[in-house]
Amino acid sequence: MIIDLPATTTSQVNSKLVHLREQGGANTIGRVLTLVIVTDDSEKTEDVIDAANYASREHPCRVIVVARGAKKASPRLDAQIRVGGDAGASEVIVLRLYGPLAGEGASCVIPLLLPDAPIVAWWPFEAPTVPAKDPIGRLATRRITDAAAERSPTRSLEARAKGYEPGDTDLAWTRLTLWRALLSAALELPPYEKVTAATVSGEADSPSAELLAAWLSARLKLPAKRLKAKEGPGIVSVTLERKSGTIEIHRPDGSVGTLSQPTQPERRVALGRRAVRDCIAEELRRLDPDEIYEQALKALGKVDRGGRGTTARKPAEPKKVKAGTGA
């Protein structure tokens, strides 16, 4: 059910929520958190809401969407409440702010927050330089950004490193979960030798490739090489060199990778590029600071970007990947 409240106030929105709860039996007892999404009022807003609805099936929550409209318009708040089948396992409140109100998102959000529930802020597109200092970021225990969706992904990561505060995370990091798990598992098998060189090859503007190289630099205590792949989406290959031979994960098509290890047959592994909704669902599983992400950010300066070539083999014809995916 979708209820529109044009030219309204937050008090009226709250009153309507109480009325719906009394009338339909919907309640907030099962809501585990409040997810505040900050974006501009555009067609992409619906895609973001769909991702939040998908994640809410695993994490029932109240979703508050702050959609900033034209700043030169007269001050107005248009609200929309979605419950039932239109809101997954959550209740969605869309606040469209116009005029001077476009910069007052935090003031409009505060009256609608669930009491005694953690607050997670998510910027699906352009994010503040320092999320923790943003008015909405100050309210949140977790702050989620997405460098891949910004105009300059690598510069965004540099800004995140300079302004990092405990509770910050980025979906470019979340997209690396499968890569990190495979590489860690490969190194846990004998022979237990020190890695002497590490190389990550991928798209020039892939923030996930940058973070993966930084993570390897931090964990292996060596400057991992970051190379530009000639073809292939996202991360194309990772190689770890040891005395006994080379461990390589090669994924030319953004879907299926090949794991090569000394003395073992090649194995094909599922390494599809992850959708935003899957990444958000994963991030909402933990509300404590991510120390490993912090270490990776700090190690961005240790990555060796001096290479001119690429270690990636010539890939097959890359498959088309839907927008909003990465790594």
Structural domain spans, the chain: 2-169, 177-326
Residue 231: what pLDDT?
Answer: 85
**From CA 231, how far away is CA 237, in angstroms rounded?**
11
- CATH classification of 2-169, choosing from 3.40.50, 3.40.190, 3.40.1350, 3.90.940? 3.40.50
Residue 306: what pLDDT?
Answer: 82
Residue 324: what pLDDT?
Answer: 55
24 pLDDT band, cuts 50/70/90, is low
| pLDDT one-digit tens code per residue, 223-266 | 999 999 988 899 999 999 999 999 999 999 999 999 999 989 99
Cα–Cα separations (whole angstroms), residue 37 to 120, 218, 230: 8, 32, 36
Q: What is the CA radius of gyration of the chain?
A: 22
What the block records as the tokens of 227 is 């190379």
**From CA 218, how far away is CA 230, in angstroms rounded?**
26
Tell me the sheet residues that pair with 244. none
320 pLDDT band, cuts 50/70/90, is very low
318 pLDDT band, cuts 50/70/90, is very low
Contact 276, 171 (CB under 8 A): yes
Is the pLDDT at 316 greater than 50, yes or no?
A: no
Backbone angles phi, psi at 7, to 5 degrees: 45, 60
**Per-residue three-class SS string for the chain:** CEEEECCCCHHHHHHHHHHHHHHHCCCCCCCCEEEEEEEECCCHHHHHHHHHHHHHCCCCEEEEEEEECCCCCCCEEEEEEECHHHCCCCEEEEEEEEHHHHHCHHHHHHHHCCCCCCEEEECCCCCCCCHHHCHHHHHCCEEEECHHHCCCHHHHHHHHHHCCCCCEEEHHHHCCHHHHHHHHHHHCCCCCCCCCEEEEEECCCCHHHHHHHHHHHHHHCCCCEEEECCCCCCEEEEEEEECCEEEEEECCCCCEEEEECCCCCCEEEECCCEEHHHHHHHHCCCCCCCHHHHHHHHHHHHCECCCCCCCCCCCCCCCCCCCCEEC
What the block records as the tokens of 214 is 């930084």
Report, as an integer, the average pLDDT of 24-38.
Answer: 78
Is the pLDDT at 323 greater than 50, yes or no?
A: no
Across the chain, mean pLDDT equals 91
23-32, 132-141, 224-233, 287-296: segment of lowest average pLDDT: 23-32
| pLDDT one-digit tens code per residue, 45-83 | 999 999 999 999 999 999 999 999 998 999 999 999 998
Is the pLDDT at 309 greater than 90, yes or no?
A: no
Residue 28: what pLDDT?
Answer: 52
The length of the chain is 327
| pLDDT one-digit tens code per residue, 216-235 | 999 999 999 999 998 889 99
**From CA 203, how far away is CA 150, in angstroms rounded?**
15
| pLDDT one-digit tens code per residue, 167-185 | 999 999 999 999 999 999 9
Side chain identity, residue 222: L
Residue 213: what pLDDT?
Answer: 98
Q: What percent of the chain has pLDDT over 90?
A: 81
Residue 256: what pLDDT?
Answer: 96
Report, as an integer, the average pLDDT of 120-130.
Answer: 96
319 pLDDT band, cuts 50/70/90, is very low
